[in-house]
Amino acid sequence: MSKVAMPKLNLQELNNLLQANRGLAAVVKKEVSDHLSGKRFLILTLLVVAACLASLYIAATSIRTAAASQESSFVFLRLFTTAGANLPFSFTSFVSFLGPLLGLIMGFDAISGERDRGTLSRVLSQPIYRDALINGKFIAGVIVLAIVIFGLGFLTGGMGLIIFGVPPTLDELLRILAYLALSVVYISFWLALSLLFSIVFRQTTTSALAGIALWLFFSLFAIFLVGMIADAVCPITDSNNLEQVMANARLHQGLSKLSPNTLYDEATVTMLNPSVRALGVVMLEQIYGAIDAPLSFGQSILLIWPHLVGLIAATLICFAAAYFIFMRQEIRA
């Protein structure tokens, strides 16, 4: 029998690998501690928690009031999506609007702040590699975001269990967990983007303003710009012309999906509302004869799979750009 040749163990490479892992673990531990104890992060987290709990109270009141006229299925999902007259925002609306601020505030001074304080060169003079530093900052941010989002989701679910006294079904539990994981991915995109701005811009104020400007653009102005482009490229001269209307609608839909906000909002609606069976333009003949029944969890996942892949790809692209620029930057003492 022939013997398989085993690769020789290079002690120097093994030592470098162990040293890199120790440096990465040290950076992650320090950054997680700094985030959780930072005053600005705690203030913004308390703001998000207060807003979400207020929306939970309004949703619970609305669901109880309309219990006689609405079906009792998917009660837990309606806790996250129902808004009231006094507070016209649901739990998901607050996370979609305020969640990016969490990511931006955690990363806008990740590198530029170290550079301003003069600690970046001192940190890298220790046995910590550059890639361990930037990887550790991003991993620590994602860990903290996961703690906040999942903790807030479990708190909402626990209060809903106390209010209604009915446990969620397996399908509802899976949908809520998928929604929380999707929220972590969405906010991680803004964390990676703010980390990129923190590396590109040397001033923390410039980095913060760039992140907030892009957040406001996607949240408020992108939808108007998309509509203007769609009307300019595919104008509707005759509202009775089906081809013009469909071309305009398809272009509008395609351009709007370049925004991470649109990807997240559509995926959230699909995941927390099982009655959503399609996204985008649907012809009448396509829904003719369809069974009026909620989608299963697996079918909803398949429906939002392109959105999830798009958000993950955007996050990785931003982080890869930040990683590449940081590894090539000159750092002086």
Residue 180 lies in a domain: yes
What tens digit of pLDDT does each residue of 69-98 get?
455 567 778 778 776 666 667 788 888 888
10 within a domain of the structure (yes/no): no
Contacts of 223 (CB under 8 A, 6+ apart): 256
Is there a domain that residue 240 lies in? yes
The answer to whether residue 239 sits within a structural domain is yes
pLDDT confidence tier of residue 68, bands split at 50, 70 and 90 = very low
Amino acid 172: pLDDT: 87
Asked whether residue 7 carries a pLDDT value surpassing 60, the answer given is no
What pTM was computed for the model? 0.85
**Of 248 and 5, the one with more pLDDT:** 248
Per-residue pLDDT tens over the stretch 153-164: 888 888 878 777
Q: What is the pLDDT of residue 281?
A: 60
pLDDT band at 283 (very low <50, low <70, confident <90, very high): low
Percent of the chain exceeding pLDDT 70 equals 81
Domain count, the chain: 1
Residue 195 falls within a domain, yes or no? yes
Q: Is residue 54 included in any domain, yes or no?
A: yes
Query: In one letter, which amino acid is 283?
Result: M
Residue 3, in any domain of the structure:
no
Give the pLDDT confidence of 290-308 residue by residue, as tens digits. Answer: 566 678 888 889 888 989 9
DSSP 225-246: HHHHHHHHHS--S-TT-HHHHH
Kindly tell me if the per-residue pLDDT of 201 is higher than 70. yes
Q: Which residue has the higher pLDDT, 317 or 165?
A: 317
What is the rounded average pLDDT for all residues in the chain?
79
Please determine, for residue 321, whether its predicted confidence score (pLDDT) is greater than 90.
yes
CB 80 within 8 A of CB 176: yes
Residue 107's pLDDT is 85
Q: Give the pLDDT band (50/70/90) at residue 138.
A: very high
Note the pLDDT tens digit of each residue in 9-46.
465 554 555 555 677 788 888 888 888 887 777 887 78
Domain range for 84: 19-328
Is 266 within 8 Å of 279 (Cβ atoms)?
Answer: yes
Specify the pLDDT at position 69. 47
* DSSP-assigned states of every residue in 243-289: HHHHHHHHHHHHHHTTSHHHHHHHHHHHHH-TT----S---HHHHTT
- Per-residue pLDDT, averaged over 215-230, amounts to 85
Please report whether residue 84 resides in a domain. Answer: yes
